[in-house]
Amino acid sequence: MARILLVDDEVNLLRMTEMMLRHEGHTVESHSTGLSALAAIDACRSGALPYDVVVTDYRLNDVTGLDVLRSTKAKDPSTQVLLVTAYATTATAVEAMRCGAYDYIEKPFKREEITSLVVSAAQKAAELRSTNIALRAAPSETHGLPNCIGRSTAMREVLALARRVAPTKANVLITGESGTGKEVIARAIHQLSGVKGAFIAVNCGAIPESLVESEFFGYAKGAFTGANRDKPGFFQAASQGTLFLDEIGELPPSMQVKLLRALQEKKVQRVGAPNEEAVSVRIIAATNRDLRAEVEEHRFREDLFFRLNVIQIALPALRERKEDIPLLIQHFISKFNESLDKNVDSVSPDALAILMSYDYRGNVRELENILEHAVTLELSSQITVDSLPAYLRNAYGDAPATTPNHYDIPDVPPVGDGIELECIVEDIERSLIGQSLERTDGNITEAAKLLGINFRSLRYRLKKYGIK
């Protein structure tokens, strides 16, 4: 049963509502002033048990129901608030929903109406708290590899292999789509390897072909115009450490030959230098290409492929390991809370549903970008649908479940006949609601699905238009 806070300055109604809810088995705390209710809500932050549902009158003698609503959501976003009013207007409803109200109910209300709303609100509070408990536990799922988060079977296998190969000197080839976290895995392997040298990351596709050799192997003073000093290359910089060659499939053929020789001989020669110098470097390469297919098409050297592919780690796409998404969400929320000086600690069920449903063609990198956007824009302590990027909201918004041509649309008078846009919209809306109710034999839940809106939105419109 739920823990409920009642707020109403009509003492008789307050007592009656309290008795009804206690009879249903709920724990009820009543306040006849808004200020005493605000004090009780504030006490939850000091260790008192949180309320599951707050039921507050809109018009109070000292503060407003919206004040109670805002304070409740600021203290604990999972607590659901029902606003009670005898003066229901469209503006009131819109403002209440904007501030995070679960629903509103008009006076006088029936017993079954308020008891039903309290139960559904309490269920939502419980679901939200359960979700957020899971999210807060997420960051521990790193399996001993720094920043490598995942509990899916696919990621457990990846991380187990990474841990086994880390202490060895074997070259590693990491494959996977862009954004899957190949460099994260590479860095974790390096950190667990125990080597003394640095981790040097190189994007092979970002270096002009004319500079590839000098960047990889360095150059001697006087080797070319402007070479006024000796400069070490990537191999020398990564000595006794790890050289991470990202997008290795982009390496030009001429450089593939030279890289193969450096790996075989463990020696490099600076451009313009007379002699070779020994290097001790572990190679971790990564690609989003199918290098076996590249070999067959003669775009990548077979001997270099086998030299790099001693141990292959294939990273799954994020859409193939969706059970890891809540873990990653909390990881990124914590990261951006710190960098953006924010205090976001949870995700609303609706927002989480969208995040869990999306396919993430950009994989973990795209999820990270989405969470940075959401944390940046979110003004409360909970990420809501409104703070998600527009393309996500558009993809998973309240899209109509049926096409408009399944309905009869009322005739619209021609422009110039003195029509009022709002009246015409209301007539169309009223007609569509009526048709949906006819099709579902008066079942409001099913009618809402047909219209592509939620139950509460339809119930509000039924009241607005006086539809029984």
The DSSP string of 153-170 is HHHHHHHHHHHHHTTS--
HEC per residue, 210-235:
HHHHHHHHEECCCCCCCCCCCEECHH
3-state secondary structure of 79: coil
pLDDT tens, residue by residue, 16-73: 899 889 988 899 999 999 899 898 888 876 556 788 999 999 888 888 888 898 888 8
- Alpha carbon separation from 359 to 319, 362, 363, 366, 395 (Å, rounded): 5, 9, 8, 10, 11
- Alpha carbon separation from 167 to 189, 195, 282 (Å, rounded): 8, 9, 11
pLDDT at 130: 63
Average pLDDT, the chain: 84
% of the chain at pLDDT higher than 70: 85
Handedness of CA 219, 221, 222, 226 (dihedral sign): positive
The pTM for the full model equals 0.58
pLDDT at 464: 77
pLDDT at 398: 43
Range of weakest confidence among 7-16, 65-74, 140-149, 258-267: 140-149
Which has more pLDDT, 316 or 411? 316
Which has more pLDDT, 421 or 99? 99
Range of weakest confidence among 76-90, 168-182, 191-205, 350-364: 76-90
Superfamily of domain covering 404-465: Homeodomain-like (1.10.10.60)
pLDDT at 133: 54
% of the chain at pLDDT higher than 90: 41
Q: Is the pLDDT of residue 443 over 90?
A: no
Range of weakest confidence among 272-286, 331-345, 361-375, 436-450: 436-450
Thinking of the domain 322-395, which architecture would CATH place it in? Answer: Orthogonal Bundle (1.10)
DSSP state of 400: -
pLDDT at 399: 37
**Range 168-196 average pLDDT:** 94
pLDDT grade, residue 415 (50/70/90)?
very low
Of 108, 61, 60, give the one whose Cα is nearest residue 88.
Answer: 108
Range of weakest confidence among 95-104, 150-159, 365-374: 95-104
pLDDT at 91: 67
Fold agreement (153-316, 404-465): no
pLDDT tens, residue by residue, 105-148: 888 888 888 888 899 888 888 876 665 655 555 444 545 566 78
Helices vs strands, H then E, count in the chain:
19, 16
**Range 165-181 average pLDDT:** 95
pLDDT tens, residue by residue, 214-227: 999 999 888 887 78
pLDDT at 423: 60
Question: Could you tell me whether strands 218-219 and 231-232 are parallel, antiparallel, or unpaired per DSSP bridges?
Answer: antiparallel
Range of weakest confidence among 78-82, 201-205, 306-310: 78-82
CA distance 415 to 413: 6
Q: What is the CATH number of domain 3-136?
A: 3.40.50.2300
CA distance 329 to 293: 35
Q: Is the pLDDT of residue 458 over 80?
A: no
Handedness of CA 350, 356, 359, 363 (dihedral sign): positive
pLDDT at 41: 86
Superfamily of domain covering 153-316: P-loop containing nucleotide triphosphate hydrolases (3.40.50.300)
pLDDT tens, residue by residue, 295-314: 999 999 999 999 999 999 99
Q: Where are the domains of the chain?
A: 3-136, 153-316, 322-395, 404-465
**Range 311-324 average pLDDT:** 93
